Amino acid sequence: MNHLQNKRILLTRTSEQNKNTAKQLKSMGAMPVYFPCIQIDYLNNNIQQALTKLHTENTRSTDIIFSSSNGVKAVASCTNNLQKSLQGFRIVAVGHKTAQTLSEHDCTPAFIPEEASQKGLIAAYQQQSLPQQAYFFRAEEGSDDLLHALELQGVNTHLIPSYRASCPNNDASSIIEQLQNKSIDAVLLGSAKTAAFYVQRIANLSLANTPVIAVMSQQVTKAADKLGLKVQVTASEPSFKAMLQGLDDYFATQDKG
């Protein structure tokens, strides 16, 4: 990936997530520019109530489901020992990143669906014994496909909104000035929510479209299009690695031109 050399890339994930992406970009010779367009707020009251109720549940007949790393971190923030709080329950993770975050807290998922999505988990459950009930820790806003699928199969499912995504309100004038000067080569947008907050923070659609826009998936492309963003790069698969590869390929084509 040498076509990202010296490219200034706008990073729009949370401050913590941007650090990991920045390391990847620096290793490719690119120059990361931090511009968090999303922040994660934990809904501690909801989590604490759920954890208290969990203490009275039958561990053998209750599943604990996490659909994201943020969900794991949110619940972990409300207990001194996540592993101890969830001990005995069958834990299910949607995606290997979620599983990795669980492992960092000494929790091992019983199974991980092949497809990192709620639909993937629905398919995985068809190969597993169903619990009598499940506690589903997820974002405040999200798909209800899994909830409905489990309830249709008689699983009493408790949906626990554990965190919400919000738009940072700190000063964006420095980034806006860089966009005006056309000194930002590309922007990475990993989700529909991040794309919406990016547009909100720039508050000028023409400026927001100045750099090359690279997104995580076709779903984000559709959301960006509705916002008026002109996407040049869509990752071949939903990962930042694939998005960076797509961006490198794009600049390779531009360099040849």
**Is 141 a residue whose pLDDT tops 90?**
no
Question: Residues 58-81: what's their mean pLDDT?
Answer: 95
Question: Residues 142-147: what's their mean pLDDT?
Answer: 84
* Residue 204, pLDDT score: 97
Please state, in angstroms and rounded to a whole number, the distance separating the CA atoms of residues 130 and 198: 41
Of 27-31, 47-51, 182-186, the range with the lowest mean pLDDT is 27-31
- The strand pair at 156-166 and 133-139 is best described as parallel
Please state, in angstroms and rounded to a whole number, the distance separating the CA atoms of residues 8 and 188: 11
Q: Taking Cα atoms as reference points, which of 174, 132, 173 lies closest to residue 150?
A: 132
pLDDT class for 100, splitting at 50, 70, 90? very high
Sign of the alpha-carbon torsion through 55, 151, 223, 112:
positive
* Residue 118, pLDDT score: 74
Question: Residues 170-188: what's their mean pLDDT?
Answer: 96
pLDDT class for 257, splitting at 50, 70, 90? low
More confident: 119 or 78: 78
> Which residues, in sequence order, are bridge partners of residue 215?
189, 234
pLDDT class for 116, splitting at 50, 70, 90? low
Q: Which two tokens stand for residue 125?
A: 């459950």
Q: Which two tokens stand for residue 68?
A: 């994201």
Question: Residues 200-213: what's their mean pLDDT?
Answer: 97
Helix or strand run (H / E) with residue 59: none
Task: Judge contact between 192 and 219, C-beta under 8 A.
Answer: yes
Q: Taking Cα atoms as reference points, which of 199, 172, 85, 194 lies closest to residue 137?
A: 85
Task: Judge contact between 119 and 102, C-beta under 8 A.
Answer: no
Question: Residues 171-193: what's their mean pLDDT?
Answer: 96
Output the furthest CA–CA distance in the chain (Å, rounded): 66
Which domains does the chain carry? 2-38+168-256 (3.40.50.10090), 41-165 (3.40.50.10090)
Question: Residues 158-171: what's their mean pLDDT?
Answer: 94
Question: Residues 197-214: what's their mean pLDDT?
Answer: 97
Q: Which two tokens stand for residue 88?
A: 């005995």
Please state, in angstroms and rounded to a whole number, the distance separating the CA atoms of residues 114 and 137: 20
Mean pLDDT for all residues in the chain: 92
pLDDT 10s digits, 77-91: 999 999 999 999 999
Global pTM reads: 0.79
> Residue type at 180?
Q
